[in-house]
């Protein structure tokens, strides 16, 4: 038997490769679930956002027993789903239950407790119905068959997504009213109005709010010349009382394409108007709750520069930039409108710019949802508290940390204040106040290194056209 000397043993140990140390596994991010909406009440459409989920295994969730249909966003691991709250849905507590999947496929239960409010809708009491409100028997049978056909279109739509991003109003300068309004005739409540009425002059173009397929273009008994668009994923929009149809069944339309022109056809008084409705499957929801959702932020690839949160940031045709406001804790701000002139009642979009004039990078907690952003951003007033961002834990989920290097500018659009969408009406002067006072509750503290303070811009004016705003009257019939 051969025996090694001590020197040979040492030499052998020196030449033996050391055992490879196992590489530490990268930590897997925990998926998060957020509900984005204008409000949580009857007649609203909610957007459920799940981030840092498995890209291959979609999350599963349900609200009041109805399963949600998730679809992928532009960012890997981000999934979206719509949840509608019908006009007659029960008010009160509701739980959204979900099973999320991390990057390794592990199932993680999650939930979000909601309080669904009744909302505020107008009610008119009438002693008797208007003359001619009830159609003859033959017409009633036709109308009933048409309503059944519409219902089939709503619940059996295209399963794939046809739209590309955010939705816009079909008549940008018109204000929608009357959604959810109900009449009580001789003590008996009628069905609530399931869409919004947009006043406009006869012949005004009606444009597609987003891409979709025409599933109906024809004349119906109650609604006259009507267009129905299927946008996919259970979203269907309806346009009625048109004077002219400019699309046909099975047409694929792009966002902004003219569908028809405003009219007064069907069972409607002589005054021209557009009735615009949105259905999520069979749920009746306010179409403006869909336009309030910033779908571009999730469905369109993020810009190469994360500081430019809007395509308008690089435009050279904007009105001249006003002077910057005073510096506060290394930041200064300015505000400017995206257009030279707005029509009365048109939605006003403002470009917000925050510049870091300090020597070090500033880290800012940025609220993702524009409708919730008034918690840190005030227009003609200070920021206001926002219930869904009242705690530090919730705020961290619904905000995004943005790094602003020295001399760089964070740029984004804002068309909401705490009272809702900005409309070109009486208020034509705006001054921005950006502050994080309300982002965290009084019992919590901001994360280390995050900018916390308040910065203001100089006032800017928005020019509103002198053309009179369109008037609107109550319809004397039930809308479909």
Give the Cβ contact number of residue 45 at 10 Å. Answer: 23
pLDDT-flagged residues of the chain (< 50) = 1-2, 4, 9, 11, 13, 131-132, 388, 390-394, 442-444, 469-478
260 within 8 A of 272, measured Cβ to Cβ: no
Give the Cβ contact number of residue 247 at 10 Å. Answer: 18
Domains and CATH numbers, the chain: 32-116 (2.60.40.10), 123-291 (2.70.70.10), 303-464 (2.60.40)
- List, in sequence order, every residue forming a beta bridge with 430; answer none if it has no partner: 460
Q: Which of 415, 428, 422, 416 is nearest to 466 (CA)?
A: 428
Residue with tokens 């173009």: 205
The DSSP output letter for 472 is -
Q: Which of 376, 370, 388, 358 is nearest to 434 (CA)?
A: 376
Give the Cβ contact number of residue 100 at 10 Å. Answer: 24
**What is the per-residue pLDDT for 91?**
94
Nearest-angstrom CA–CA distance, 296 and 166? 5
Nearest-angstrom CA–CA distance, 429 and 379? 9
Cα first-last separation, the chain: 100
213-272 pLDDT, tens digit per residue, is 999 999 998 889 999 999 999 999 999 999 999 999 999 999 989 999 999 998 876 788
50-81 pLDDT, tens digit per residue, is 999 999 999 999 999 899 999 999 888 999 99
Q: Where are the alpha helices (DSSP H) in 106-232?
A: 137-155
Nearest-angstrom CA–CA distance, 233 and 236? 9
| Residues in Cβ contact with 378 at an 8 Å cutoff, skipping those fewer than 6 apart | 384, 417, 418, 432, 433, 434, 435
**What is the per-residue pLDDT for 342?**
85
**What is the per-residue pLDDT for 450?**
86
The torsion angles phi and psi of 56, rounded to 5 degrees, stand at -100, -30
Q: Which of 209, 256, 470, 429 is nearest to 345 (CA)?
A: 470
Considering only CA atoms, give the Rg of the chain: 27
The torsion angles phi and psi of 216, rounded to 5 degrees, stand at -155, 130
Nearest-angstrom CA–CA distance, 284 and 181? 13
Nearest-angstrom CA–CA distance, 257 and 274? 16
Kind plus residue range of the DSSP H or E element containing 61: strand 60-63
**What is the per-residue pLDDT for 207?**
93
Overall pTM surpassing 0.85 (yes/no)? no
217-226 pLDDT, tens digit per residue, is 999 988 899 9
**What is the per-residue pLDDT for 391?**
47
**What is the per-residue pLDDT for 382?**
83
Nearest-angstrom CA–CA distance, 446 and 450? 7
Q: Are strands 182-185 and 123-126 parallel, antiparallel or unpaired?
A: parallel
Burial 188-216 (b: 16+ CB within 10 A, else e): eeeebbbbbbbbbeeebbbbbbbbbbbbb
**What is the per-residue pLDDT for 214?**
94
276 within 8 A of 176, measured Cβ to Cβ: yes
User: Where do the DSSP E strands lie in 350-476?
Assistant: 350-356, 362-367, 377-379, 399-404, 409-414, 416-417, 420-421, 429-430, 432-435, 454-456, 460-461, 463-464
Helix (H, G, I), strand (E, B) or coil at 384: coil
Q: Which of 242, 239, 236 is nearest to 285 (CA)?
A: 236
329-342 pLDDT, tens digit per residue, is 999 999 999 988 88
Both tokens assigned to 107: 């199932």
**What is the per-residue pLDDT for 97?**
96
Helix (H, G, I), strand (E, B) or coil at 289: helix
Kind plus residue range of the DSSP H or E element containing 93: strand 92-101
Both tokens assigned to 91: 């008010």
């Amino acid at each position: 038997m051969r025996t090694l000397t001590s020197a040979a043993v040492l030499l052998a140990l020196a030449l033996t490769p050391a055992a490879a140390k196992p590489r530490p596994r990268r930590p897997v991010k925990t998926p998060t679930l957020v509900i984005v909406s204008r409000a949580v009440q009857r007649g609203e459409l909610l957007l459920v956002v799940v981030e840092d989920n498995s890209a291959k295994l979609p999350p599963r969730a349900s609200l009041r027993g109805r399963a949600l249909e998730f679809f992928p966003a532009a960012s890997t691991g981000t999934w979206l789903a719509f949840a509608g709250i019908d006009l007659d849905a029960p008010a009160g507590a509701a739980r959204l239950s979900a099973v999320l999947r991390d990057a390794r496929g592990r199932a993680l239960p999650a939930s979000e407790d909601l309080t669904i409010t009744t909302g505020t809708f107008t009610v008119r009491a009438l002693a008797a119905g208007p003359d001619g409100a009830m159609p003859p028997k033959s017409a009633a049978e036709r109308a009933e068959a048409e309503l059944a056909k519409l219902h089939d279109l709503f619940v059996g739509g295209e399963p794939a997504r046809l739209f590309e991003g955010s939705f816009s109003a079909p008549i940008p300068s018109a204000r929608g009213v009357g959604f959810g309004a109900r009449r009580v005739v001789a003590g008996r409540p009628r069905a609530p109005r399931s869409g919004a009425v947009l006043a406009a002059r006869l012949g005004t173009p009606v444009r597609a709010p987003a891409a979709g397929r025409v599933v109906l273009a024809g004349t119906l008994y109650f609604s006259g010349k009507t267009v129905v668009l299927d946008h996919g994923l259970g979203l269907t929009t309806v346009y009625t009382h048109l004077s002219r149809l400019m699309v046909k069944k099975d047409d694929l339309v792009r966002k902004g394409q003219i569908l028809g022109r405003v009219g007064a056809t069907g069972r409607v008084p002589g005054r021209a108007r557009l009735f615009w409705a949105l259905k999520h499957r069979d749920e009746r929801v306010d179409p403006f709750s869909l336009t309030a959702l910033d779908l571009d932020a999730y469905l369109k690839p993020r810009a190469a520069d994360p500081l430019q949160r809007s395509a308008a940031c690089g435009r050279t045709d904007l009105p001249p930039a006003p002077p910057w406001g005073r510096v506060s804790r290394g930041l200064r701000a300015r505000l400017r409108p995206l257009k030279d002139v707005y029509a009365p009642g048109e939605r006003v979009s403002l470009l917000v710019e925050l510049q870091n004039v300090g020597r070090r990078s500033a880290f800012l907690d940025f609220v993702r949802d524009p409708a919730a952003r008034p918690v840190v951003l005030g227009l003609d007033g200070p920021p206001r508290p926002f219930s869904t961002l009242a705690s530090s834990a919730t705020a961290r989920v619904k905000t995004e940390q943005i790094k602003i290097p020295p001399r760089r500018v964070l740029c984004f659009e804002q068309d909401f204040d705490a009272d809702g969408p900005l409309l070109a009406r009486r208020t034509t002067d705006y001054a921005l106040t950006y502050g994080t006072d309300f982002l965290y509750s009084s019992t919590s503290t901001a994360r280390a290194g995050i900018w916390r303070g308040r910065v203001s811009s100089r006032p800017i004016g928005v020019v509103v056209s002198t053309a009179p705003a369109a008037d609107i009257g109550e319809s004397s019939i039930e809308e479909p």
